[in-house]
Amino acid sequence: MRELLNLADYRAAARGRLPASVFAYISGGSGNELAMRDNAAVLARMAIVPRALIDCRHGHTRVDLLGQTFASPLLLAPVAAQGLVHAEGELATARGGGALDVPMVLSCMASQPMETVLAEHGGSCWLQVYWQGSRARTLEVVRRAEAAGFAALVLTVDTPVNGLRLRELRAGFAMPADAAAVNLPAHAARALDVPAGGSRIFQGVMRSAPTWDDVAWLRQQTRLPLVLKGLLAVQDVLRAAALGADGVVLSNHGGRALERAPAPIRMLAAARAAVGDVLPLLIDGGFTTGAQVFMALALGARAVLIGRPQVYALAVAGDAGVARMLRILRDELELTMALAGCATLADITADSLLSLASAGMDA
């Protein structure tokens, strides 16, 4: 096997190793995959201006996040059903993240018990939660996370309805029973009984979707830090801040929710300007290099969540693969920082960026 030098290599290796339908499930986006492609396209259109001769010998990549300090501005994004690609699933991923001091945001759709995952990680993990159709059922999951010792809750709000993921449909993907979500109460299957003449979406699925009122209620129910994941509109970010959220993840769900959602990084600078410096903004969506992580930080992100590459690395080499993937990203980030003259994350600002579409000779 050729040496795995960057995250694209992990993707290629995973593709060669996973059943086509599983790879389609992981790698695909919704509809015509416009959101997914925008994630990559936007990241390609920015340059980083190097700065020379700056003393970086005391440099590091440490970051403060929800009151804790981590080795790097990276998190493992919540990805469901990791039993699909590796026998140990989330347990192995957790060990890989723990080894690099990278917090894992465990999906509530995990195929391993949340308590065990947390133990395997050994450090700080957050629990991602989908609304469970009612306040009571949602609270059940929250209480279990509190009891287990998760350090924060991440409520995903961008998929009250699932996008239509054609790639996996055409590949005939079906979730196998042994990758099922073991942490959710059995009654949580979404209600789909639709009144006559009603819409399957509006009067069906959306009946069990959460609203801002539900989030305000949830905010009152727990003392854990609460992060909202899947906002993009600046107004939504402002509302999250006003409601007392401890963080926001700008995300288009890796291009798997709204087919034409813009890349989150398009919205980052405006969101940062709107909410000021206090609320941590995190981001995900197509990040595969340390230089891209640098760009997100420069535009105002506190940290970056890594989704699909986590699964590719897990598929290729288990816990060691996840750790190595995270190490590559961090090395690339350090290299970028050193060449851009940034010794710490605080030194990374938008002054380092240059839009290739509008700058220089095109001005």
Cβ closer to its own copies: 254 or 318? Answer: 254
Secondary structure E strands in the chain:
46-48, 63-65, 68-70, 74-76, 104-106, 125-129, 152-156, 226-231, 247-250, 281-283, 303-306, 353-355
- Kindly list the distances between the CA atom of residue 146 and the CA atoms of 126, 153, 156, 157, in Å, as whole numbers in the listed order: 10, 9, 17, 20
Q: Residue 60 catalytic?
A: no
Cβ closer to its own copies: 52 or 174? Answer: 52
Least distance (Å) between residue 213 CB and its own copies: 8
Cβ closer to its own copies: 215 or 322? Answer: 215
Look up residue 277 and give its amino acid. Answer: D
Cβ closer to its own copies: 117 or 258? Answer: 258
Cβ closer to its own copies: 228 or 323? Answer: 228
Least distance (Å) between residue 206 CB and its own copies: 5
Residues forming beta bridges with residue 76, ordered by sequence position? 104, 306
Least distance (Å) between residue 357 CB and its own copies: 4
Look up residue 255 and give its amino acid. Answer: G
Phi and psi (nearest 5°) for 245? -65, 150
Could you give the angle at which helices 308-339 and 7-17 cross, rounded to 10 degrees? 160
Least distance (Å) between residue 235 CB and its own copies: 8
**Cβ-contact 247, 256 below 8 angstroms:** no
Secondary structure E strands in 247-356:
247-250, 281-283, 303-306, 353-355
Burial class of residue 312 in the structure, from the number of CB atoms within 10 Å of its CB (0-12 exposed, 13-18 middle, 19+ buried): buried
Check 58, 60, 86, 253 and give the catalytic one. Answer: 253
Least distance (Å) between residue 315 CB and its own copies: 22
Phi and psi (nearest 5°) for 355? -75, 125
Active-site amino acid positions:
253
